[in-house]
Amino acid sequence: MPLFIVKNEGFTGPTDAVAVSGSSELSVRKIRSAKVRYEIGCPDTGNFSISELASCYRGILEKAASLKCADIAIPMFGENSATLSKEEVLNAAVTEIAAFLKGADMLVYLKVRNPADLTLPETIEKELSHSIREQQKTAEENNHSGALFLPRLGIWGGGVCAAIGSPLLNSLLARKMNNGSKTFQERLLELIREKNMDEVTVYKNANIDRKLFSRIRCNKNYTPSKSTALALAIALQLNLEETKDLLLRAGMALSPSITFDIIVSCCIENQFYDISKINVVLFRETEQYLGERPARKSGNKKEKSEKIEK
């Protein structure tokens, strides 16, 4: 199951469990709520070391797993630490949670107070900043030029209407359709085999759940969302040309003027394929992410109050 970063303030997503700070020991109590079934406390993390932070997250996740929770919301502890940098605090959280999810079937929401404080390693941040500036500059220059260019057809502005319906264009389209081009699903499964990867690793690394991947796998004509298609490209560690080709098979393209697309393109060009950390900067800049949250049925069962000590 995937990891998603969300704003702490106002987060009300239905979860089986929520982690809270301030407890002197890890404890769990069932509460009467349709949205939250358990509260899992953890020690105050004000001045914790990296290893202590990692241990805290691990303890929370292991407890949630032992209770068979499908999903849990965890605050990012140590955001105001005086001894650790924001990058260290974030890295400890994302690394520990992502490692745990490789062997667990659980959805984790990491709640942050201020998305603007989220930072990646300096080298990646510099590359992203440079790419965003350059792409925005190029987009502005294209807008000012006033030329409409359709690369797939090789025509500019006024020639479009004349070209549509022409015998030459109809012949080209018919030939293309008769060539039997692979669908998104067919090309995806082919890429998995070419990269010698197993499907479980791919969908886990793509931040999607097993049920969604199964729908894609079983439906030759399945059309995914753009975030899912790009997540699968990242999971397969495709280069930029391979990514563009996969997107085209789902009727999509990367835009040089959309921040989300610019960030993903930059990460691919720099061979940075850590989807959890890519989602950090995507959430910070656009409040979007790669992957797809699984649909969840809200329950209305009332639970008896109880407390379970670690």
Domains of the chain, by residue range, sit at 3-119, 122-145+183-286
pLDDT in tens, 50-100: 888 888 889 889 988 988 888 888 888 877 777 788 888 888 888 899 889
Whether residue 197 is predicted with pLDDT greater than 80 in this model: the reply is: yes
Distance CA 186, CA 181 (A): 9
Distance CA 81, CA 110 (A): 17
**Mean of the per-residue pLDDT values for the chain?**
77
> Given the structure tokens 């009727």, which residue do they identify?
251
Whether residue 303 is predicted with pLDDT greater than 70 in this model: the reply is: no
Whether residue 17 is predicted with pLDDT greater than 60 in this model: the reply is: yes
- More confidently predicted of 143 and 283: 283
Measured CA distances, 72 to 37, 144, 146, 244 (Å): 10, 48, 50, 34
Whether residue 254 is predicted with pLDDT greater than 70 in this model: the reply is: yes
If you average pLDDT over residues 133-139, what whole number do you get?
69
pLDDT in tens, 157-172: 344 444 445 565 555 5
- More confidently predicted of 18 and 183: 183
Per-residue pLDDT band for 231 (boundaries 50, 70, 90) equals very high
Per-residue pLDDT band for 199 (boundaries 50, 70, 90) equals very high
pLDDT score of 152: 35
CATH architecture of structural domain 3-119: 3-Layer(aba) Sandwich (3.40)
pLDDT score of 296: 56
pTM here? 0.71
Which of 3-7, 34-38, 243-247, 284-288 comes out lowest in average pLDDT? 34-38
Cβ distance 93 to 77 under 8 Å?
yes
pLDDT in tens, 263-286: 899 889 888 898 988 888 898 888
Per-residue pLDDT band for 116 (boundaries 50, 70, 90) equals confident
pLDDT score of 161: 42
